[in-house]
Amino acid sequence: MEKTFAEFFAGIGLMRMGLEKQGWSIRYANDIDQQKYEMYKGHFQDADSHFVLEDIHKIKGSAVPAVTLATASFPCNDLSLAGARKGLEGKQSSAFWGFIRILDEMQNRRPRFVLLENVLGFLNSHKGKDFEQALLALNQLGYSVDAFILDASCFTPQSRVRLFVVGTCESDVLISEPAKSLQFFQSDVRPKALAEFIMMHSNIKWCLRDLPTPPGKIKLLEDIVEDLPDTASEWWPRERAEYLVNQMSPRHRKIADEMIAGTKWSYGTVFRRIRNGKSMGELRTDGLAGCLRTPRGGSGRQILFKAGRGRYFVRLITPREAARLMGADDFKISGPLNQALFGFGDAVCVPVIAWVAQHYLNPVFEMMLLRSTPDEPSGYASVGQS
């Protein structure tokens, strides 16, 4: 058995980058987006050997090679606050069921385990019904499931909270006696809302693994900012910059003025929001960028605010800065600005995936290899069905 994987909803390939850092090898990738594929191919020279550009609903399980792991960072549009909250039946997020169908069709070639990634709204979509249905679907395919939450801010200067699910073939896990208290389920990676969901859904076959506390804040926004000269064309003209500053609320404008009056350069990010029917500029100065998004409309384009020494400058975050915020510092960026920002905004954070591989996927893989040693401690606890 080898550490091989198939990456569904591959996008520009950042899931692959994270897994490869922990010794995993790609065998298959799929996405429907031509522009993302172009960015993927621009970075990964072997794309033609394994990337299938196609709607997941048209892919047959027989066309997917046998792998140890299948990943799915499926569309979040219908699960997020930004969407219409149609859930897993929505036009975009229903692609999850295409992934489930493929696993079902693979039958005895089914991957030994799966990894899902999505927005935190997945947990609460339709009052938890969507999340429950997704996990029960994995159960029906023979996977026991685990869930945990990670914030990219523990690894890069970006606030990006994501929900992860690992499904493991039931025959591959060693099960200990269940525990039922909220305190048992709750941890740094399973906050109260998720712990309560686990405890309240004994109809789901769970298999929870102890995980360490993620690292603290490693980098600040200023550490990833490109050093562009003041005359660079990326900086907005004075009139446009002033318009943005004047869109700030009195509280945020006061913070901006304090930054401008500072003796050294400081940095913040700005999103435009509609508040009481009015476009407002909301300034963030805690050393983190806001969550990268796809640049649909003005509100999805994150703005950098640089101020100090009596001056200030404003521009959009560059593709290279977006890559750094996703922990993909060395990604070979191709395509125009919006294409690059769309690719990174719709991707996963590389060091987060590497952490999941290091602390979850690799130990599970090693446990599979050690199944011949029955006394080996599992690090798991099961709850739910017996």
CATH number, domain containing residue 379 = 3.40.50.150
Q: How far lies 223's CA from each of 158, 265, 321, 329, in Å?
A: 12, 12, 10, 12
Mean pLDDT of 189-204: 92
Mean per-residue pLDDT over the chain, rounded: 88
Q: Is pLDDT of 148 > 60?
A: yes
pLDDT of residue 384: 53
Q: Is pLDDT of 76 > 80?
A: no
Number of H helices, E strands in the chain: 14, 13
pLDDT of residue 301: 82
Does 234 share its domain with 353? no
Mean pLDDT of 183-211: 89
Does 119 share its domain with 249? no
pLDDT of residue 177: 39
Mean pLDDT of 347-353: 97
**Pairing, β 161-169 against β 143-151:** antiparallel
- The structural domain count of the chain equals 2
252-292 pLDDT, tens digit each: 999 999 999 999 999 999 998 878 778 899 999 999 999 99
| Residue 336 maps to a domain | no
Least trusted range by pLDDT, from 45-54, 86-95, 150-159? 86-95
Does 18 share its domain with 72? yes
Does 103 share its domain with 209? yes
pLDDT of residue 93: 57
Does 203 share its domain with 271? no
Least trusted range by pLDDT, from 13-17, 195-199, 224-228? 195-199
pLDDT of residue 376: 45
Does 111 share its domain with 21? yes
pLDDT of residue 66: 97
Helix, strand, or coil here: 163? strand
Full domain range(s) for residue 299: 227-317
Mean pLDDT of 107-114: 95
pLDDT of residue 276: 79
Q: Give 182's pLDDT tier (boundaries 50, 70, 90).
A: low
Does 128 share its domain with 37? yes
**Residues 194-229 as b or e (16 or more Cβ within 10 Å = b):** bbebbbebeebbbbbbebeebeeeebebeebbeeee
13: left (phi over 0), alpha (psi -120 to 50) or beta: left
Q: Is pLDDT of 72 > 50?
A: yes
| Residue 323 maps to a domain | no
Does 147 share its domain with 290? no
DSSP symbol at 289: B
pLDDT of residue 79: 56
Q: Give 175's pLDDT tier (boundaries 50, 70, 90).
A: very low
Q: Is pLDDT of 64 > 50?
A: yes
pTM for the whole structure: 0.91
Does 23 share its domain with 133? yes
pLDDT of residue 171: 65
Phi, psi of 242 (to 5 degrees): -60, -40
**Token code pair at residue 43:** 């970075």
In this structure, the number of other CB atoms found within 10 A of the CB of residue 365 comes to 22
Does 52 share its domain with 181? yes
Q: Give 103's pLDDT tier (boundaries 50, 70, 90).
A: very high
Q: Cβ(11)–Cβ(343) under 8 Å?
A: yes
Does 364 share its domain with 247? no
Does 178 share its domain with 245? no
